[in-house]
Amino acid sequence: MKIQNWRSERVKLTMSMIFQEKARGEVKEVVGDEEVTTEAICQLVYIDMIVRETIRLFPVGPLLPRISTEPIELTSCTVPEGCSLYMVPFATHRDPRYWNKPEEFIPERFTPENSKNRHPFAYLPFSSGFRSCPGSKYGTMCLKVFVAHVVRSYHLESNMKLDQLQLHTHISTRSSDGYKLSIKKTNN
């Protein structure tokens, strides 16, 4: 399945110098030239927000399938036992009932103040409950470490327009034709 005219999943950081500079400043302040440790990653609040916002717009898993184990009463119908159900984080994460300006990349929507009144199931990049992804914390930590290392040492640029990006979904969501980036070493 192809999803056209959506934005790139993992390269959102490259689309705005503001986000890169703010993230780079945070890494320099918290980590400096030292090793990126678990303790340091936990202090990189802005990078955490960037990663969450990227995953909000482009969750790795496009569908979260379930099968009802008993009838479920909804407002307008009853879902019978044994029925296949699919949660679509890609759509839920863009629902204007839960997200102000849902198509925009706004990391600050994940500040504690902006998150406190949000519905608990409005953000499901790794599912939820006992069937949530067992690797979600590890995967998120790896992304934060990766972003911290990249913004500390490199400046990323892309001439690609957001509406030129096309996504392809299969087991995960990714760009149909790759990512066109320019990577330059920073002047540290």
Q: Residue 125, SS3?
A: strand
Q: Which two tokens stand for residue 177?
A: 């034709």
Residue with tokens 């056209």: 4
Gap between the Cα atoms of 65 and 179, Å rounded: 29
Q: Residue 60, SS3?
A: coil
Residue with tokens 């699919």: 86
Backbone φ and ψ for 153, nearest 5 degrees, come out as -110, -15
Backbone φ and ψ for 172, nearest 5 degrees, come out as -130, 175
Gap between the Cα atoms of 155 and 20, Å rounded: 8
HSE, side-chain direction, 13 A CA sphere, residue 157: 7
Backbone φ and ψ for 142, nearest 5 degrees, come out as -60, -40
Gap between the Cα atoms of 104 and 114, Å rounded: 15
Q: Which two tokens stand for residue 132?
A: 């949530």
> Any known ligand binding at 133?
yes
Annotated binding site: 133
Annotated binding site for heme: 133
